[in-house]
Structure 1
């Protein structure tokens, strides 16, 4: 184990018969596939988008950009690429690409479309997400995350391998969505035979059409962009509000679920909460109540749904429950637009969501729990009207609904822009300030992003990418601070350990933490075996090192570790090491020298330094923001170290630091002398 332990612990058939069996099986399989294909084709024809098939093909022949507006579930994410392939758009060897904001959406949609086309995933239809490529040379329909498309533009700025780009879920207005729209506007001017479909559920369609429209005259016949709205197949939805505000919305969600289960007729329930911890807490409470329900009543099955959930667990929400069972899905806002869960009749809306927010003064990214917008509230309510008349229970007053903002501000206006600037610089856009964004970002955020990249050594005094550091950072699909850690690991001599740590950080739920009882105590004791006083990152390294020696689900279960998450870490780690070879970073091990490893972490994460103030709270060096250690950290129950680095900030009732590493203050002066000096880091 690396690091200093936190605690001291004292008959055969003939060939002809075989052939007959095979032939009989093949004919049976053929009949099954024929019926299966017919059922899928009938299902496709019942979707609202089917009657607009010819309109979509015609408009893409006439216009370069089509803004497609339609409710989630109308079929635009799965059917449009199939219509284009059937119309011959991918017949010249080029590919149709659909971008998704989330990995779960890209993988689940690709699987669904491959099933509809009766093909094996990865052949005719495939997906590409970070550290996972499931495509081939014959792929015609490719689903991918937005970040992957942006990286492909670095090698092929004009995207010559693609004929149609479909931007899905544009209403979420993520940082990468806005960057890609700005870049595609430039690409469309160079490639007149290329087409772009901007697909969304709720968005200002006129604004997007005007953004992509390259015609500056009043002659509408020469427009290059147009709008098509698809009528959704929705049923009436009754909306109910609470009379008084609720004190604990997680508890209120559980109580509303139980009351609904007793009083309402059959139909599945979808509940919206903010994050993984709240979802797991609610599912645990509902599961406990489900055991108490008498057998003669309808049973209750509670299932979680969030982005970091293992793929096998995510798929459970799509399975049809038994006739005597009501399914209750507790989800984050991933179920708001990214995926459509069948048979939802009732929706319980907490009124909150977790959104990323960047504070320029303290240079910190936070996940804050904030009230949703009216557009999000309507989107959540729309989940209830898919199969029959539904009901929505909003856990906030009608007055509170009226006070909500109309739409959530685009991520471009509330994010750390350093990753975006780095990508734009790598694409050859030197003057980022003049880049045509759909929504202009605040100038202070742009300046802050440039300062961070300069501090990390990614750009020089003239604002140009440095070689090799800046070029390599742009190639690595990680946050700039983590990319710098990976590059520094080759120089310091601990790249093997650093790839393991960074791979572990890509998976959120390595530790299994039961909600209470004896299991929670056993889990706490089991996790202590891996914990060290150097912090969470070295603890994660110890977890994977131990897992490598055992690699069994029984061992993981015994130590309360998520075996599927650790399998995913193995895949990511393999991809990272392949990337190291591509970037010519030497693969080396520090052989247990923890000081060497801590210095490497400091070389990249130095902007995220915090010190223990004499008042008993931690403060950021820049901005003097009060911070607290998160309860899941291995440093939570030990004497507080003087100096720490954090990977992430989470804001709930307090501002918590997550994934901590204990460091020495002199390392900040040694490794980042341009960023820190003694007067700035003295806590007194």
Structure 2
């Protein structure tokens, strides 16, 4: 792809002028995820009246954050634009609203309504190539005819795969803050922690004003580097106006408060030492001028791995001040050897849930289905085998009667494990649907470990253990979950005091009641609480077949 062919747009309002009607897709190529998430809906509002915009973003946290941010930004811009998250489509009047969805919640809303009432749709983070994100794109191509904007990285491969799917979709490149200097090491680092500390201290001592953000792979590295920076600054007596704060998953409350205090502080310099989670995080100080990138991250399996070129470019784009600089703690040759971007999830993950979703929607031949990434034959075969063993498809690959009876679950809640859908489907003929729904809801809410509350006080732990034992039954953990649910929710959800006395997680079980109600309403089961007269035999057989893996 010739990058010179891009339409470089400095004034974002011109983007809307490119948006026509019909099923044409427009690709916005940019590194920053937060700017199009907030600015594109506002620009559409400014150029169109009575708009109802849907924005699909890859995580619930990001969706809520963008929803809040657009409210604040619209007030400053003087453009009325109310925002909401994850609402039913039929409750959204066309009055200049912007609703943020995750791919899962978007598919859920589509499954419930079977129509898309939005005047404009924006899909963010398409370069993530998540399974349900790509499913959203495939659904939109089949059923949506309005203006569609896809936001992705400007890497040629990220754009190319979207252009191939949308048959030469128009590209618009959204200019971001320009990085002035990109620095690499001359030789690979022998000690990453020492190199990171040296780099941060040198920037702080020799460069001008501006905050610093550093990307490392693990929490342990973050803490080691922070300790090293503080020791060096203290020894040099230069730490007075410098705050060094961590940013990683599962931070303690006091650590988060320290981070926010540092970000809110006027004057001085903040050094944010972070893991990869800060790549897409928007609530960072507006004057980040220096990025330090180790080039490493942690895989889902907990292993330290190299980031992709896309990851490194996104990190570099965290610069939010003109004249920013990026220091990569590896050589330029090492950067060139990195892969462009991660493979699509559908290329490596199980496909039984997504295959069941398409079959439930009426797709006859999954092999001819148009999707952004073509499903691998070996994963398709594995998915069909899994569904056949669960009695959800027949020998000819069509839905069985059991699958048809719960096809609404597959359409409205496609992200539920197929074994749970199969369990609910078989329970309809075994007079134990109420019990299976309770078990599934408790599992989806977190399972047995989340249901139990273990107090911090050592003296109370033995008491909690004894009370938890009262719920346990010899039939196994899943029937124990059923016992907990029925004890806590029959005839209705107990008072919070009861949960405290029984050392159970009120929030988790309350979530389970909401999930159970949703499951029951989707398949049209009126009863919400378990009926004591229902037979346990069928329930135990279903649990043994679908839960005890």
Counterpart of 1:178 (choices 134, 146, 168) is 134
Is 2:289 the partner of 1:345? yes
What is the distance in 2 between the residues matched to 1:246 and 1:595? 63
Shift of 1:257: 8.2
The runs of 5 or more residues in structure 1 that have no matched partner are: 1-47, 214-222, 357-365, 514-518, 610-684
Counterpart of 2:37 (choices 73, 77, 87) is 77
SS at match of 1:437: coil
- CA 186–300 in structure 1, closer or farther in 2 if over 3 Å, else same: same
Contact 2:434 2:530 in 1 (8 A): no
Number of aligned residues: 508
Is 2:165 the partner of 1:211? yes
- CA 409–498 in structure 1, closer or farther in 2 if over 3 Å, else same: closer
Residue of structure 1 in register with 2:85 after alignment: 127
Counterpart of 2:510 (choices 563, 566, 570) is 570
1:169-193 deviation line (CA, Å, top 9, x unaligned) = 11112122322223322235xx3xx
Greater share of residues in helix: 2
1:5-56 deviation line (CA, Å, top 9, x unaligned) = xxxxxxxxxxxxxxxxxxxxxxxxxxxxxxxxxxxxxxxxxxx977131342
Contact 2:34 2:66 in 1 (8 A): no
What is the distance in 2 between the residues matched to 1:345 and 1:537? 56
Shift of 1:424: 1.4
Residue of structure 1 in register with 2:215 after alignment: 272
Residue of structure 2 in register with 1:493 after alignment: 435
What is the distance in 2 between the residues matched to 1:406 and 1:80? 26
What is the distance in 1 between the residues matched to 2:177 and 2:68? 23
TM-score by length of 1: 0.60
SS at match of 1:441: coil
Is 2:386 the partner of 1:448? no
Contact 1:253 1:271 in 2 (8 A): no
1:322-357 deviation line (CA, Å, top 9, x unaligned) = 24665454555443246463333333434334556x
What is the distance in 2 between the residues matched to 1:378 and 1:435? 33
What is the distance in 2 between the residues matched to 1:590 and 1:289? 61
Residue of structure 1 in register with 2:72 after alignment: 115
- CA 50–169 in structure 1, closer or farther in 2 if over 3 Å, else same: same
What is the distance in 1 between the residues matched to 2:202 and 2:461? 35
- CA 402–66 in structure 1, closer or farther in 2 if over 3 Å, else same: closer
Shift of 1:78: 1.0
What is the distance in 1 between the residues matched to 2:363 and 2:247? 42
Is 2:178 the partner of 1:234? yes
Shift of 1:126: 0.8
What is the distance in 1 between the residues matched to 2:448 and 2:152? 28
Matches within 5 A, 1:309-348: 320-323=263-266, 326-337=269-280, 339=282, 341-342=284-285, 343-348=287-292
Shift of 1:143: 0.9
Matches within 5 A, 1:450-599: 450-465=384-399, 466-476=403-413, 477-484=415-422, 490-491=432-433, 493=435, 495-504=437-446, 551=496, 567=507, 570-571=510-511, 573-585=513-525, 586-588=527-529
Contact 1:97 1:144 in 2 (8 A): yes
Shift of 1:73: 6.0
SS at match of 1:143: strand
Contact 1:352 1:370 in 2 (8 A): yes
Contact 2:438 2:485 in 1 (8 A): no
- CA 484–260 in structure 1, closer or farther in 2 if over 3 Å, else same: farther
SS at match of 1:416: coil
- CA 474–207 in structure 1, closer or farther in 2 if over 3 Å, else same: closer
1:62-87 deviation line (CA, Å, top 9, x unaligned) = 98221111230683221111222232
What is the distance in 2 between the residues matched to 1:439 and 1:149? 20
Is 2:102 the partner of 1:150? no
What is the distance in 1 between the residues matched to 2:320 and 2:547? 46
What is the distance in 1 between the residues matched to 2:291 and 2:458? 35
Residue of structure 2 in register with 1:666 after alignment: none
Deviates more, 1:320-329 or 1:256-265: 256-265
Residue of structure 1 in register with 2:62 after alignment: 105
What is the distance in 1 between the residues matched to 2:273 and 2:484? 32
1:75-112 deviation line (CA, Å, top 9, x unaligned) = 32211112222322535xxx211111111111111111
- CA 85–495 in structure 1, closer or farther in 2 if over 3 Å, else same: same
1:363-412 deviation line (CA, Å, top 9, x unaligned) = xxx676532212222221222x3214444444444443332112221222
Is 2:319 the partner of 1:376? no
The runs of 5 or more residues in structure 2 that have no matched partner are: 1-7
- CA 297–599 in structure 1, closer or farther in 2 if over 3 Å, else same: farther
TM-score by length of 2: 0.73
Contact 2:112 2:412 in 1 (8 A): no
Deviates more, 1:136-145 or 1:435-444: 136-145
SS at match of 2:404: coil
What is the distance in 2 between the residues matched to 1:69 and 1:82? 18
